[in-house]
């Protein structure tokens, strides 16, 4: 192959003009920040919805002024109707899972740092990358539109003109079927209840758009990682963050199309009168439902959860990668068992495709398959436990520096254990007889997917903020933010386990109807107070984030004395990351506290003269001491 010594140093020149620089940019760093900003906006919407939900559960009949103004139909006199509550549940779940947990960890930090960490000047397909963000953004706009298509009479009436399945203006803030949208409830349209007209259609369309955006992103991640690693960056020298992003991209590539398929079938059932999910002989709201026959509601559940289970690993794996990375950095110690960690990431990813049935034990599917799913589900606990041991091993014998990023990474481990361990209960089909669709499940997935993932993102933010913006976030405010949030989330979600033990079902707009729930009231109030405090504390984060962009202390290239490639370039990085010079990598990613080395860290680009690579090119990660 012809050697082109200085050919193609810049694949694309630096952009000029505000629009090309900040709006329609093909620079992966700008796109990464755009994803993060999208997630910051989405999480705000999600948190507000959850507070409204908590208020409704704790003090039924409360007049909420703003609801009266914005949504007079769904909350007459400011008092939430049950369907309004259910639409909050649905939108909270959908927005959080898709637009927060599937954007920031992968599209946000992954986009920004994968190319840099492997020594590339951008993603493999920068224009495709830009498209993936804007497609995702359009998806977000559509889901926001669903709020008003159902919540606002005028907007709703525009949609109602499109046909029966688009009936809008019912007063809710979107569909009421939960983020899981099980048919027939989600397929029958407005006869099944308010919010099930335009709200569902827009929900499906938004998710379909999101699927496409996600796929475009996944293509980029995989190609970039396989093809664009710099010289010396073997696979086993890559930071664990890269392994996590890579596995997540593969999961996204293979699971989102299945959701897309299911979504298309659901939309056809609603709009075109097909019967993929709708059986015959239904009698809804006082009349038989004509023209449908033979569909299977279980089919949707299989398609949805085949996607849904890998999705939760998509949400958590980047956080695991970031945690490993950050723990090692601030413990000044290599990651314990790098190879095993890589293997565990892969095992979790791949096994994640075989356990979807544990969401469906009670669904009516074959009880024999439930046995298989149950055993496989508990097996997936093994690589997760391995990772936890390795994190503990990384801390053992360390010299820990307690930066805010480190606190959040430690918090991740704590929360991941807390949430993951109840998987041992829920994964057993026998025990699920009681716990399925109770608050015990809600506790489990919020701790492990909601909170642990968010902690991973917080850790990543505090860690990489200096690199992205050239300034440090305020550590003092950061630490206060950590403590309130850490204690707050435990205060919120541990009581959920107790509620689950009482038998409290999910998605109940009120708990007033059942005697067996009467002991829950104290718990419910306690959780609400904790939630309001914790959500309010996030103001500290938003303030710190945006204020520090302009007024934070200057950061320098490597404020944390870290080893990976991003810390060898300026903060913020130049347009093409490495200023035209390709880094050469000589070491693994976690060479901290190497005996005999002048400093307690060796950067990956530090020359071979520096001690401790006797294995010569095997990544330096097979040492035994």
Partner 1 sequence: MFVSGKWWFPPAITAHGPAYDRQFLITIIVVGISFVAAQVGLGWAVWKFRATGDAERATYSHGNNRLEVVWTVVTAIIFISLAVMGQRVWASLNLTKAPAGSYTIEVVAQQFSWNFHYSGKDGAFGRTDPNLIDDSSLNYVGIDDTDPNSKDDSVVSTLAVPANRPVELILRSKDVTHSFFVPQLRFKQDLVPGMNIRVHFTAITPGKYELACAELCGMNHFKMKAYMLVLPQNEFDELVALPQEKFQARKDELLNKYQLPNY
Partner 2 sequence: MAATATGTDRAVHPGVGGGPRNGNGFHKNGGGSDVPLRFSPARYRIRVWMGIGSILMLFVALTSAYIVRSASSDDWRRIAMPRVLWLSTALLIISSVTIELSRRSLKSKNESGYSLWLINTVVLGVAFVVSQVFAWRQLVRQGVYLASNPYNSFFYLFTGAHGVHVLGGLCALGYLVIRTRGVRKSVEGELRRVGAADAVAIYWHFMDVLWIGLFMLLTFWK
Binding to partner 2, residues 583-622 (CB under 8 A): 583-584, 597-599, 601-603, 605-607, 609-610
In the set 93, 427, 559, 583, which binds partner 1 (CB under 8 A)?
427
Contacting range for partner 1; rule: CB under 8 A; set: 114-122, 134-142, 227-235, 329-337: 329-337
Question: What is d(CA 425, CA 439) in angstroms, rounded to the nearest whole number?
Answer: 13
Question: Minimum distance from CB of 451 to partner 2 (Å)?
Answer: 30
317 binds, among partner 2, partner 1, none (CB under 5 to 8 A by kind): none
Return the number of the residue (221 or 391) whose C-beta is nearest partner 2.
221
The per-residue b/e assignment along 320-329, b for 16 or more CB within 10 angstroms, e otherwise, is bbbbbbbbbb
Least Å from the CB of residue 370 to partner 1: 7
Tokens describing residue 357: 């049935």
Given 64, 104, 167, 260, the residue binding partner 2 (CB under 8 A) = 260
Find the shortest distance in angstroms from Cβ 85 to partner 2: 32
| 337-356 residues near partner 1, rule: CB under 8 A | 337-340
Nearest to 308 by CA among 268, 269, 363, 271: 363
Q: Per-residue contact track with partner 2, 300 to 329, x per CB under 8 A? A: --xx--x-----------------------
Residues between 411 and 470 with contacts to partner 2, criterion CB under 8 A: none
Phi and psi based region of residue 291 (left: phi greater than 0; alpha: psi -120 to 50; beta: remaining): left
Query: Mask of contacts with partner 2, 64-103, x by CB under 8 A?
Result: ----------------------------------------
Interaction with partner 1 in 282-321: which residues (CB under 8 A)?
282-286, 288, 294-298
171: left (phi over 0), alpha (psi -120 to 50) or beta: left
For tokens 């829920």, name the residue.
Answer: 426
Which residue in this structure is represented by tokens 């006082």? 286
Residue 422 contact among partner 2, partner 1, none, beta carbon within 5 to 8 Å by kind? partner 1
Cβ-contact 524, 58 below 8 angstroms = yes
* Residue 283 dihedral angles phi and psi, to the nearest 5°: -130, 110
- Nearest-angstrom CA–CA distance, 364 and 302: 12
Contact call for residue 561 and partner 2 (CB under 8 A): yes
Tell me if 141 sits within 8 A of 470, measured CB to CB.
no
Shortest spacing between CB 117 and partner 2, in angstroms: 12
x/- binding map, residues 72-111, to partner 1, per CB under 8 A?
A: ---------xxx--x-------------------------
**Span 560-589, contacts to partner 1 by CB under 8 A:** none
Which residues lie below 8 Å from residue 34, measured CB to CB, with a gap of 6+? Answer: 25, 133, 137
Residue 528, interface with partner 1 (CB under 8 A)? no
Residue number with CB closer to partner 1 (446 or 471):
446
Three-class secondary structure of residue 438 per DSSP? strand
3-class SS string, 587-598: CCCCCECCCCCC
Closest CA to 576 of 21, 24, 20, 29: 29
* 176 near partner 1 (CB under 8 A): yes
Q: How far apart are CA 497 and CA 485, in angstroms?
A: 19
**Interaction with partner 2 in 272-301: which residues (CB under 8 A)?**
272-276, 279-280, 291, 293-296, 299
* Nearer residue to partner 2 within complex by CB, 260 or 360: 260
Distance of CA 186 to the CA centre of its chain: 24
Q: Decide whether 126 or 175 has the Cβ nearer to partner 1.
A: 175
Q: What is the DSSP string of 71-124?
A: -TTTSGGGPPPHHHHHHHHHHHHHIIIIIITTTIIIIIIIHHHHHHHHT-SS-S
* Residue with Cβ nearer partner 1 (28 or 387): 387
Strand partners, 284: 287
Answer yes or no whether residue 113 interacts with partner 2 by CB under 8 A.
no
Q: Is 283 helix (H, G, I), strand (E, B) or coil?
A: strand
Ranges within 384-413 binding partner 1 (CB under 8 A): 385-386, 388-390, 392-393, 395-402, 410, 413
Cβ distance to partner 2 smaller for residue 124 or 535: 124
DSSP-assigned states of every residue in 112-162:
HHHHHHHT-SS-S-HHHHHHHHHHHHHHHHHHHHHHHHHH-HHHHHHHHTT
Question: Which residue's CB is nearer to partner 1, number 109 or number 179?
Answer: 179
Q: Which is nearer to partner 1, 30 or 198 (CB)?
A: 198
Contacting partner 1 within 461-500 (CB under 8 A):
494, 497-499
Candidate list 20, 21, 332, 479; residue touching partner 1; CB under 8 A: 332
| C-beta closer to partner 1: residue 66 or 392 | 392
Task: Give Cβ neighbours of residue 312 (< 8 Å, ≥ 6 apart).
Answer: 352, 445, 448, 449
Q: Which of partner 2, partner 1, none does residue 623 bind to, with CB < 5 to 8 Å depending on kind?
A: partner 1
Q: Does 230 bind partner 2 (CB under 8 A)?
A: yes
Q: Are 470 and 119 in contact (CB under 8 A)?
A: no
- The interface partner of residue 35, options being partner 2, partner 1, none and the CB cut-off 5 to 8 Å by kind, is none
Pattern of binders to partner 2 over 370-389, x per CB under 8 A?
--------------------
The H or E element that residue 455 is part of is: helix 452-469
Rounded CA gap, 287 and 226, in Å? 57
Q: Which does 375 bind (CB under 5 to 8 A by kind): partner 1, partner 2, none?
A: partner 1
Nearer to partner 2, 498 or 602 (CB): 602
Which partner in partner 1, partner 2, none is near 234 (CB below 5 to 8 A by kind)?
Answer: none
Pair of tokens at residue 465: 């903020």
Residue 219 binds to partner 2 (criterion: CB under 8 A): yes
Question: Residue 312 CB, nearest distance to partner 2 (Å)?
Answer: 18
Question: Quick one: what does residue 9 bind among partner 2, partner 1, none, with the CB cut-off 5 to 8 Å set by partner type?
Answer: partner 2
Q: Which of residues 3-22 bind partner 2 (CB under 8 A)?
A: 3-9, 11
Q: Report the alpha-carbon angle 11-13-14, nearest 5.
A: 130
């Amino acid at each position: 192959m012809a050697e082109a010594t200085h050919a193609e140093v810049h694949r694309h020149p630096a952009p000029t003009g505000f629009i090309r620089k900040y709006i329609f940019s093909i620079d992966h760093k700008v796109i990464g920040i755009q994803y993060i900003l999208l997630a910051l906006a989405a999480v705000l919407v999600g948190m507000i919805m959850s507070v409204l939900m908590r208020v409704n559960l704790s003090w039924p009949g409360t007049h909420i002024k703003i609801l009266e103004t914005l949504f007079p139909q769904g909350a007459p006199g400011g008092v939430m109707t049950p369907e309004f509550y259910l639409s909050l549940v649905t939108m909270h779940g959908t927005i959080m899972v898709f637009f927060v947990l599937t954007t920031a960890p992968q599209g946000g930090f992954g986009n920004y740092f994968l190319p840099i960490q492997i020594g590339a000047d951008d993603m493999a397909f920068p224009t495709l990358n830009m498209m993936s963000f804007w497609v995702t953004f359009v998806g977000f706009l559509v889901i926001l539109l669903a709020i008003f298509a159902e919540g606002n009479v005028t907007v709703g009436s525009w949609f109602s003109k499109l046909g029966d399945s688009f009936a809008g203006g019912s007063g809710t803030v979107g569909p009421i079927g939960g983020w899981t949208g099980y048919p027939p409830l989600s397929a029958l349209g407005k006869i099944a209840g308010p919010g099930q007209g335009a709200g569902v259609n827009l929900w499906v369309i938004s998710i379909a758009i999101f699927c496409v955006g996600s796929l475009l992103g996944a293509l980029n991640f995989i190609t970039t990682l396989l093809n664009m690693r710099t010289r010396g960056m073997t696979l086993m020298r890559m930071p664990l963050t890269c392994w996590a992003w890579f596995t997540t991209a593969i999961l996204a590539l293979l699971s989102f199309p299945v959701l897309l398929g299911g979504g298309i079938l659901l939309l056809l059932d609603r709009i075109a009168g097909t019967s993929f999910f709708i059986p015959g002989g239904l009698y809804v709201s006082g009349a038989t439902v004509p023209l449908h026959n033979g569909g299977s509601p279980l089919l949707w559940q299989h398609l949805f959860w085949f996607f849904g289970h890998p999705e939760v690993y998509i949400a958590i794996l980047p956080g695991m990668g970031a945690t490993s990375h950050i723990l090692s950095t601030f413990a000044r110690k290599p990651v314990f068992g790098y190879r095993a960690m890589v293997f565990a990431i892969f095992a979790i990813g791949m096994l994640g495709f075989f356990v979807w049935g544990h969401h469906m034990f009670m669904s009516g599917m074959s009880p024999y398959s439930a046995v298989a799913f149950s055993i496989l589900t508990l097996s997936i606990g093994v690589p997760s436990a391995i990772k936890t041991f390795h994190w503990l091993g990384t801390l053992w014998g360390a010299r820990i520096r307690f930066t805010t990023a480190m606190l959040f990474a430690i918090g991740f481990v704590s929360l991941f254990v807390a949430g993951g361990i109840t998987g041992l209960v829920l994964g057993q089909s026998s025990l699920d007889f009681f716990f399925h669709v109770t608050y015990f499940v809600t506790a489990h997935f919020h701790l492990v997917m909601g909170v642990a993932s968010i902690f991973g993102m917080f850790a990543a933010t505090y860690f990489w903020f200096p690199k992205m913006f050239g300034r440090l976030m305020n550590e003092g405010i950061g630490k206060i933010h950590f403590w309130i949030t850490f204690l707050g989330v435990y205060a919120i979600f541990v009581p959920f386990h107790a509620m689950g033990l009482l038998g409290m079902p999910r998605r109940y707009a009120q708990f007033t109807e059942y005697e067996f729930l009467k002991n829950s009231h104290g718990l419910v109030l306690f959780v609400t107070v904790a939630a309001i405090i914790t959500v309010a504390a996030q103001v500290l984060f938003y303030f710190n984030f945006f204020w520090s962009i302009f007024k934070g202390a200057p950061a320098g290239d490597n404020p944390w004395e870290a080893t990976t490639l991003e810390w060898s370039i300026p903060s913020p990085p130049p347009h093409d990351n490495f200023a035209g010079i390709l880094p050469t990598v000589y070491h693994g990613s976690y060479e901290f506290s190497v005996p005999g080395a002048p400093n307690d860290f060796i950067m990956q680009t530090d020359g071979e003269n520096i001690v401790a690579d006797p294995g010569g090119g095997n990544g330096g990660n097979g040492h035994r001491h």
